[in-house]
Structure 1
């Protein structure tokens, strides 16, 4: 008989386009680790996918928990060991099977809630610091800075000597970003003045063109999302700003570095208190639809994490 578990699945007619139901417990492949989920993080991109899901897809890319079983080809993990992982999908559940090279052991001082908020936001921020090129003494403009990626990027970039200006909609969020290392926060991109060596844009709409206008002539613009849901536009006949600038489309998994290696580095930085992971909301996993609506309504700063009760 197939063993069952509870999991969130896409449902276009339900609140936040998801419902909690029973599905088959994962069958473990030889190169996988089965994790008993303790917490998971909600990412904005996943909430967009819920609106038009592909067949067999379930949300869940950030999880923490304990090792419940290991595949025949897996070494280095013990049953009951606390871990954080970055599965391709299906982590909003009681159990999830993850490729072993995407699973990292957790030190005792790092709690499950904080750990669950590390993977996607942390990996994106870390890999953005590579996509930008050298950051020491560079002037950097970051839009959409109030989420988990923005908080992590500001800290990582500031630690490398960058002078980061962030776009934050309200004073509270701006103050927190300055505490984390931003040199300046501005309410909207329309109020930005001066030129920047690097701009990172993730909101879409007119913001991409506005960021381009604030680049130095040979600057670099990295596009990595459009949270506003409005397609970005750019007029190459507008000669303001980045006259000879470079435009790059960024996706964090295009980085050739192994996910597990980067995730282990992030875990180490967090454990050593050299990187702070901002968790703005933590609730029981049965409240996932409410948590999603809170996130999309921009009523939370940083990451949203759900605790799983078995």
Structure 2
């Protein structure tokens, strides 16, 4: 309805209205599904303590993280202004990273999260068993899949940042930031998955603590670094913060399970394949100059994806990621 609207304020209001309408629709749908679909006819009385023990840390983590992120989002434009930009330019740079780069980076994550969201309840069920062998095997497969998938995504963003930015936004301004954040895209993806895995095995209190520590450190570093380094300093902060979160999650999983890591198969080999294919695809992009630029970029990325996952599919099958046992 607002495709021809040019007023920024009205466009923002339209976006907010759309988000609110979507949330209300989702709530109504799920409520109806529960009432008429899955609610038991005779609900047995159960103690709320086991549920509260799980739900309270997760809820607290969401609330605290939301508050700290709000502080962070308010502080960043202020610190960018101290770097030497006026307020409008500071907000523009902040919007460039949070509104353009980050959505691009996390868009492919939807495909991975859909699969993992199916596996995490299964891991929670297996966690109730005395023998944790099956649980650890599932965790190992999920992490392996996350590494393989995220390495390809990071490679695409690192080797084709200008092309992707121009294709999506008709402007290459986001390309330098996209290339930098691409370096830690695997860490960002795997950390998000690992956080969910930790919660599925009862480590929600630990994730709450690390989330608070990470957020507080981010705020302090924003206050100290961004006024001196500007938007690029904020990008470096994102890299450091996500690396820290990745390491804390992986160390905790290693401590609380018997999960085995195979760096050669899950990291080195996918990275080598990514680099080799990306370099070949860049050459291919030059050969497709007779096509419209957007079509050439889509075609080349499509070739990369097919070739990469064709190769890694063999690796995934060999590792038993798609097996049910």
TM-score (structure 1 length as normaliser):
0.22
Say which one has the larger Rg.
2
TM-score (structure 2 length as normaliser):
0.21
